[in-house]
Amino acid sequence: MPRAFITGITGQDGQHLAQFLHDKGYDVYGMVKGQSNPRIAALVEEMPFIETIPGDLADLPSLVAALEVSQPDEVYNLGAISFVALSFNQAELTANITGLGVLRMLEAIRMIGGSQNNPIRFYQASSSEMFGKVRETPQNEATPFHPRSPYGCAKVFGHDIVVNYRESYDLFACSGILFNHEGPRRGIEFVTRKVTNAVARIKLGLQHELVLGNLDSKRDWGYAGDYVKAMWMMLQQDQPDDFVIATGETHSIEDLVQRAFAEVGIDNWTDYVRQDPKFFRPAEVDLLIGDATKARTELGWQPEVDFPALVSMMVQNDLEIEAKKAGIAL
């Protein structure tokens, strides 16, 4: 059985990837951090096949030990301080975990290495936030980076150090430059889930307004379930390389809000939405739209869930969750 080691296993992508790899017959090891982290119990209850290993991206010896225990064929580094807004308040922590954490993981791989015939294959979760103030539209693998947040800056470091270690030490290391990807497992702090959850609660009479920041920025939103497949596909290639993963469509936050309200039959959405400066960011990424031609032609990857289906999936999921919590029959 092939073995995979995943950091960030309690996050959205970690959960999707763990299930995907398990279904493919992998032994799945997940790194978990902290003492009595409440997310671990919930994850293990849902996916009892995951072997958890304690460790922290801030602690190189713990990464080395985790690789020694798991002896993986593939390492997926999905762990990060991943929320852009938080990265402005905790910039040093973000640089340490999201940026330097990649370097530590690469060093741990160099130390443990795998066998000559079967070196460890490494996947780094790079991000469209690296494009930031975009230099061209749409963005592809050759588009220069111009990050707009401490998160984006840390991801650029992570991306560049993967390229450097691949070139310097001949590691099998790939970066997936993933555009925003969402789904029912998305954290409530991200705008898609914040909107779909609020819309569900408003429909059920549990909440009366939705308070947001900038409604004009545009994102290329795909479905996380489609995107973790691309991560795995990258590591099955003969040669390591970097790939943009995106849908090639962009929508504003306003489009998202309108569509989510329409899903529950509410057309006068402006009556429910208020803007508050506290949700605006010191610097914004105005427009993201990815060109995934390389992934399509070289990996044979393409997204299966489009934007309307994604919003519908998320709203329906939140309706079920919130109705159940409140004891309301749908």
Active site residues: 127, 129, 151
| Position 3 contacts ligand GDP (CB under 6 A) | no
Interacting positions 91-150 with ligand GDP (CB under 6 A): 129
Interacting positions 235-264 with ligand GDP (CB under 6 A): 253
| Position 279 contacts ligand GDP (CB under 6 A) | yes
**Cβ of 71: how many Cβ atoms within 10 Å?**
14
CB of 274 to ligand GDP, least distance (A): 11
Question: Does residue 219 sit in helix, strand or coil?
Answer: strand
| Position 180 contacts ligand GDP (CB under 6 A) | yes
Q: Which stretch binds ligand GDP (CB under 6 A): 13-21, 64-72, 99-107, 184-192?
A: 184-192
Minimum CB distance to ligand GDP smaller for 49 or for 279: 279
| Position 269 contacts ligand GDP (CB under 6 A) | no
| Position 217 contacts ligand GDP (CB under 6 A) | yes
**Choice from 52, 207, 214, 312 touching ligand GDP (CB under 6 A):** 214
Q: Contact 75/110 with Cβ under 8 angstroms? A: no
Q: Which stretch binds ligand GDP (CB under 6 A): 24-32, 54-62, 278-286, 305-313?
A: 278-286
Place of tokens 């954490």: 101
**Choice from 2, 54, 114, 213 touching ligand GDP (CB under 6 A):** 213
Residues 6+ apart with CB under 8 A from 235: 74, 121, 123, 172, 174
Q: Which stretch binds ligand GDP (CB under 6 A): 161-169, 170-178, 183-191, 317-325?
A: 183-191
DSSP annotation string for 168-199: HH--EEEEEEEPPEE-TTS-TTSHHHHHHHHH
| Position 153 contacts ligand GDP (CB under 6 A) | no
**Cβ of 120: how many Cβ atoms within 10 Å?**
22
Q: Contact 230/299 with Cβ under 8 angstroms? A: yes
Minimum CB distance to ligand GDP smaller for 14 or for 55: 14
CB of 250 to ligand GDP, least distance (A): 12
Residues 6+ apart with CB under 8 A from 120: 67, 72, 73, 74, 75, 109, 112, 113, 114, 172
- The DSSP 8-state label assigned to residue 297 in this structure reads I
Q: Which of 323, 297, 322, 286 is nearest to 139 (CA)?
A: 286
By rule CB under 6 A, what count of residues binds ligand GDP? 19
Q: Which of 212, 215, 90 is nearest to 149 (CA)?
A: 90
**Choice from 219, 229, 251, 259 touching ligand GDP (CB under 6 A):** 219
Q: Which stretch binds ligand GDP (CB under 6 A): 71-79, 281-289, 291-299, 306-314?
A: 281-289
Minimum CB distance to ligand GDP smaller for 252 or for 312: 252
| Position 311 contacts ligand GDP (CB under 6 A) | no
Structure tokens at 128: 């469209």
Q: Which stretch binds ligand GDP (CB under 6 A): 49-57, 185-193, 222-230, 304-312?
A: 185-193
Minimum CB distance to ligand GDP smaller for 28 or for 191: 191
CB-count exposure of residue 37 (10 Å: 0-12, 13-18, 19+): middle
Q: Contact 80/98 with Cβ under 8 angstroms? A: yes
